[in-house]
Amino acid sequence: MIQTASMVLRSGTKLLRDAIGDGASRDARILMAHMMGVPADRLTLELSRTITPTQVSQFEHMIKRRAAHEPVSHIIGKRAFWKHEFNVTADVLDPRPETESLIDLALDGDAPASILDLGTGSGCILLSLLAEYPEARGLGTDMSEAALNVAKGNAAALGLNDRAQFAQADWFSGLQGRFDLVVSNPPYITAEEMDELSTDVREYEPHLALTPGGDGLSAYRSIAAGLAGFLAPTGRALFEIGYKQGPQVKAIFDEAGFKAVNVHPDLGGRDRIVAVSPAEKG
């Protein structure tokens, strides 16, 4: 039986809608575009094409994976973030739109010569910043060797190998030097909130990157305790937070002795970034 991409997409969308509800049409189109090797925004122009039985099987397999709530990014192996696409696997946190608020805020300041990204994961924060600051060099750290391998692959794909280094470390352990910009999207979901996460996140993303357990604040306490020894005198530090955690995280850095600690919202108006510098600028 001859089948067009449109016919197969229609049946796949219905199956997916029954399984996941909202977002089924969008996800099915992304998967179809990936299978056909065309940009998602050009898929409509390609839907009249006849596709082979092998392609039908490939698409149906991807639909079944998504119907089991596996993230689209894991199925196609990539996720768009800021101005680039990053390779992702189950070993790293999926880059999220709200994290772009950290990039936006980082760019609203002096250009750094050195950047430290704590818990780099896919490397999306560090590599996005290095692409924006062509004179800067950066170091990304992570406890997971598998995550570091993903980050290294993304650095190579973006042509940033010469300016990006990576090291396995538990926050500041084993590190040396001071940095003009320190950034991090640490695990901050509370133990209680983990049960409320969608199946896509809870079952498929690395728990080490999602939650430290307890009240979700232990990473900030560890970072605040060591930050002064690694932040340049005129440097800045930016940390993503949960939208309910602004006052608590600000208090942690206030108590650690930092004189300029401010909470900034994301595009949705929710608290998202805590900015820290050693002292008020005169």
**Enclosing domain of residue 197:** 78-277
**How far is the C-alpha of 163 from the C-alpha of 30, rounded, in Å?**
32
98 and 161 in a single domain? The answer is yes
**How far is the C-alpha of 80 from the C-alpha of 95, rounded, in Å?**
8
93 and 62 in a single domain? The answer is no
**Is 188 domain-assigned?**
yes
CA pseudo-torsion sign 167, 171, 172, 173: negative
pLDDT at 259: 86
Higher pLDDT, 41 or 118: 118
pLDDT at 195: 86
**Is 241 domain-assigned?**
yes
144 and 260 in a single domain? The answer is yes
pLDDT at 2 over 80: yes
Note the pLDDT tens digit of each residue in 244-253.
Answer: 999 999 999 9
45 and 124 in a single domain? The answer is no
pLDDT at 282 over 60: no
220 and 84 in a single domain? The answer is yes
pLDDT at 279 over 80: no
**Is 73 domain-assigned?**
no
44 and 113 in a single domain? The answer is no
pLDDT at 280 over 60: no
15 and 132 in a single domain? The answer is no
Given 33, 68, 103, the domain boundary residue is: 68
pLDDT level of residue 121 (50, 70, 90 thresholds): very high
For residues 4-8, average pLDDT = 96
**How far is the C-alpha of 223 from the C-alpha of 249, rounded, in Å?**
11
For residues 260-267, average pLDDT = 95
Which secondary-structure segment (H or E) carries 261?
A: strand 260-265
Domain CATH code at residue 19: 1.10.8
Specify the range with the lowest mean pLDDT, choosing from 19-28, 141-150, 194-203: 194-203
pLDDT at 281: 44
Which secondary-structure segment (H or E) carries 124?
A: helix 124-132
What is the number of structural domains in the chain? 2
114 and 232 in a single domain? The answer is yes
Helix (H), strand (E) counts: the chain: 13, 11
Domain CATH code at residue 112: 3.40.50.150
> What percent of the chain shows pLDDT beyond 90?
90
169 and 229 in a single domain? The answer is yes
pLDDT at 19 over 80: yes
**Is 282 domain-assigned?**
no
Given 68, 91, 107, the domain boundary residue is: 68
For residues 185-193, average pLDDT = 93
9 and 54 in a single domain? The answer is yes
**How far is the C-alpha of 34 from the C-alpha of 255, rounded, in Å?**
49
